[in-house]
Structure 1
Amino acid sequence: MPAFGQSLSEQEIADVSAYILTDIKAASESHDYRPELAEIHETEKLNFKVDTVASGLEIPWGMTWLPNGDLLVAERSGELFRFRNGTFIGLIEGLPTIYVHGQGGLMDIRLHPDYENNGWIYLAYSTYGPEGSSEGGNTAIMRARLQDNTLVDKQELFKGTPDTRSGVHYGCRMVFGNDGYLYFSIGDRGRMDNAQDLTNHAGKIHRITEDGQIPADNPFVNTPGAMASIYSYGHRNPQGLVKHPETGVLWSHEHGPRGGDEINIVEKGLNYGWPEISYGINYNGTIITNDTVKAGMEQPVLQWTPSIAPCGMTFVTGELFKAWENSILTGSLSFRYLVRNEVQNNEVVHQEILLREIGRVRNVETGPDGYVYVAVENPGVILRLIPVE
């Protein structure tokens, strides 16, 4: 990758693209067979086996399915891959300029709920600040349409501030709410005080319309100096954002520091406390705050200490996984497993660890076919969980 401020020549781009195409195609056709995945995984409520549906990846961050069943996988390094029936068939071209830096790059991808009629695909990624600026970048949201294997009709809908050269805490997950609005998360970008400051976008969950406008009933539209897209604040680095399949209520999870990872129910205008309250401490062992509770700040539904480093999140639905219905599946980067959180009446009543030592789990989704898909880095694969009797 070029250093900050540099760009690749057309020949260098062609050389890199040719390498990626050859390497990904070969790896996807081999399926990176791992004998331990073929075993039956016995769990408390449901047994399943695992197969590999895409491989040859590095850090697969986002994934979604086109109506014909093709799988789109967003790599954090800035590539968007297309798989069909487990085989790599193309690299999507025409992506926006992506600031690949630290934890930033190409992140989440979502289809518009009415995709079959309007064709809109939404991308979350980190991008540079204004041209000529040396301030780094921040999270952005774009929508585009897919023509063959090229993005067209591209529209940048949102660009977060402040720009910074910090390589951490970009967020970013997206979900369309039942109200038709797009919700997405941005981390505090490595500055704790950003999360309580309404004059910037960092450390917040945002809400915009499908074309990037501000809903008239957003909670801070009439607050002087506040960013009008803010829906909730006081977040550290949310890398999970989903809606409950029955109630439509938004749930998220976020990274704490050393301890204090959280699952939250996200509600309009509320303050989730970071860094004024936290169950974690600094990585060097020093105290961030002595408070875990404060008036006007929300308590998490669940907190993990020690940290599991949560990434990716889905509610399980459908007949195939009826035994896990309304459980939340969450990936763990630090412990390299998947965790099932059983939810009753907006509370997590039980946890179960699945797929121990599977690798750093970046994402988990319920596919249109009803199976659960898990994106893992090192090796970069997409796995599918298949229930068995």
Structure 2
Amino acid sequence: MHRLLTLFTGLLLPFSTFANYDVERVAQGLSIPWAIEFVTEHQLIINEKDGKISLLDLNNGQTQRLYTIKDIFNSGQGGLLDVTSYKDSTGNTTLFFSYSKPTPEGATLAVAKADFIKDQIQNFTELFVADSTSDTSRHFGSRIEIVDGHLFVSIGDRGERDNGQDVTTHAATIVRLNLQGNAPIDNPFSNHSEALPEIWSYGHRNPQGLFYDEPSQTLWSIEHGPRGGDEINRIEKGANYGWARVSHGREYWGPLDVGEAKSLPGMVDPELVYIPSIAPSNIVLYRGDKYPELDGKLLAGALKLAHINVVEIKDNQLHKHARILGSLNERIRDITISPTNEIFFSTDNGNIYRLISKQPE
């Protein structure tokens, strides 16, 4: 499926107002806080890559340990990854976690749930173990979004390119699950004789960002390319995003293009490509009045270039860019939006920050 593609080659547009930001550090001393998630207006769940789950109270700045996942593969890009919360009609809160899990042949990705009751984690239960085992420690993904009572979970190709076009593995896919961990009957491959029924889309390299924008009913993904070729994609039911037959990146070992082409029939083109790579982490779409100049824009964390990347959506296309917080010089790992429409983010330096909009002098 061919679209008008935006290539970002490092030239920034003059968004002078985007320099008007400060940060307030609200937590420090963490071990790679891979994910942060609000459960109340003043409380965040923190996932640390080594398996620790904590609760941060913004009112007093105190952090308390809630749980530690023991059966975890904490190596390379693996470890405790994402967390998201779901509040049912009775007000009960359930937390969903993704993490890499050791197997006899290496490691794979798993999803678990737990009840959040009276500031405690209870009934931690594994829901889903992906068929994505590899002996590498690369490309697990993974982010979780809840859309219309279903879990969407991104899974990387596990460092094996052939997985990209193989629908008999969960590697290189975004899967859609019921909240109980099984495959919904209306998934695109539920009646396929060979494809795994949990698969929603495939042909992904390493999607470490996932965000559902309810007003536009769009599921956005951002994923790592090889040397160049990071992508922002709109995720569609049953779609093939091309990896590794299609790529805008180059081989790590030489000046050769990866794949057969930059676009092929039957495969969905990315909405935006970064050349060179920014090494993206999570992505959100901000809608709110706390930062008016960011309203309606995509925000993506950058690991390699250590900034937050701002992308404008205009006429249903991604075509303007700016960078903020580059002077902080910390790898942005996760971005989340509070119930009061404030932006918080975590960094690999072990810090969590609140974004502050400077007032005009």
> Are 1:229 and 2:198 matched, yes or no?
yes
Deviations 1:332-381 (A, max 9, x none): 11111111111123311210010114211111111112111121112x10
Deviation of 1:94 (Å) = 5.3
| Aligned match of 1:204 | 173
| Equivalent residue for 1:50, pick from 23, 38, 48 | 23
> Are 1:324 and 2:298 matched, yes or no?
no
Deviations 1:162-198 (A, max 9, x none): 3222100000001111x22110100000001101100
Flag the structure with more relative contact order, 1 or 2, with Cα contacts below 8 A and sequence separation at least 6. Answer: 2
Counting helix residues as a fraction of each chain, which structure ranks higher? 1
> Are 1:280 and 2:237 matched, yes or no?
no
> Are 1:292 and 2:262 matched, yes or no?
yes
Deviation of 1:46 (Å) = 7.5
| Equivalent residue for 2:69, pick from 95, 109, 114 | 95
Deviation of 1:49 (Å) = 2.1
- What are the ranges of 5 or more consecutive residues in structure 2 without an aligned counterpart? 1-14
| Aligned match of 1:59 | 32
In 1, distance between residues paired with 2:189 and 2:173?
Answer: 12
Say whether the 8 Å CA contact 2:107–2:137 is kept in structure 1. Answer: no
> Are 1:143 and 2:143 matched, yes or no?
no
| Aligned match of 1:73 | 46
In 1, distance between residues paired with 2:22 and 2:68?
Answer: 37
| Aligned match of 1:5 | none
| Aligned match of 1:372 | 343
| Equivalent residue for 2:100, pick from 126, 142, 164 | 126
Against the structure 1 CA distance between its residues 167 and 355, is the aligned structure 2 distance closer, same or farther, given a 3 Å change threshold? same
Matches within 5 A, 1:159-308: 159-177=129-147, 179-285=148-254, 286-308=256-278
Say whether the 8 Å CA contact 1:245–1:317 is kept in structure 2. Answer: no
Deviations 1:277-331 (A, max 9, x none): 1000111124322410100001100000100000011111112123211101101
In 1, distance between residues paired with 2:101 and 2:62?
Answer: 27
| Aligned match of 2:356 | 386
> Are 1:355 and 2:325 matched, yes or no?
yes
Deviation of 1:69 (Å) = 1.9
Against the structure 1 CA distance between its residues 47 and 296, is the aligned structure 2 distance closer, same or farther, given a 3 Å change threshold? same
Helix, strand or coil for the counterpart of 2:270? coil
Deviation of 1:48 (Å) = 2.7
TM-score in terms of structure 2 length: 0.90
Helix, strand or coil for the counterpart of 1:117? coil
How many residues are matched? 342
Deviations 1:112-161 (A, max 9, x none): 143862321101111122xxx2x121111101113456532222111112
In 2, distance between residues paired with 1:233 and 1:372?
Answer: 30
Deviation of 1:45 (Å) = 5.6
Deviations 1:48-72 (A, max 9, x none): 3211011111311111112262111
> Are 1:114 and 2:91 matched, yes or no?
no
Counting strand residues as a fraction of each chain, which structure ranks higher? 2
TM-score in terms of structure 1 length: 0.84
Helix, strand or coil for the counterpart of 2:179? coil
What one-letter code is carried by the residue in structure 2 that aligns with 1:258? R
Helix, strand or coil for the counterpart of 2:336? strand
Say whether the 8 Å CA contact 2:248–2:258 is kept in structure 1. Answer: no
In 2, distance between residues paired with 1:372 and 1:123?
Answer: 21
Instruction: Indicate the RMSD between aligned Cα atoms, in angstroms.
Output: 1.8
> Are 1:105 and 2:74 matched, yes or no?
no
In 1, distance between residues paired with 2:72 and 2:18?
Answer: 42
Say whether the 8 Å CA contact 1:188–1:236 is kept in structure 2. Answer: yes
Helix, strand or coil for the counterpart of 1:284? coil
Say whether the 8 Å CA contact 1:78–1:98 is kept in structure 2. Answer: yes
Against the structure 1 CA distance between its residues 156 and 259, is the aligned structure 2 distance closer, same or farther, given a 3 Å change threshold? same
What one-letter code is carried by the residue in structure 2 that aligns with 1:64? E
Against the structure 1 CA distance between its residues 60 and 321, is the aligned structure 2 distance closer, same or farther, given a 3 Å change threshold? same
Helix, strand or coil for the counterpart of 1:92? strand
- Residue identity over aligned pairs, in percent, reads 35
In 1, distance between residues paired with 2:180 and 2:293?
Answer: 38
In 2, distance between residues paired with 1:106 and 1:68?
Answer: 24
In 1, distance between residues paired with 2:158 and 2:283?
Answer: 21
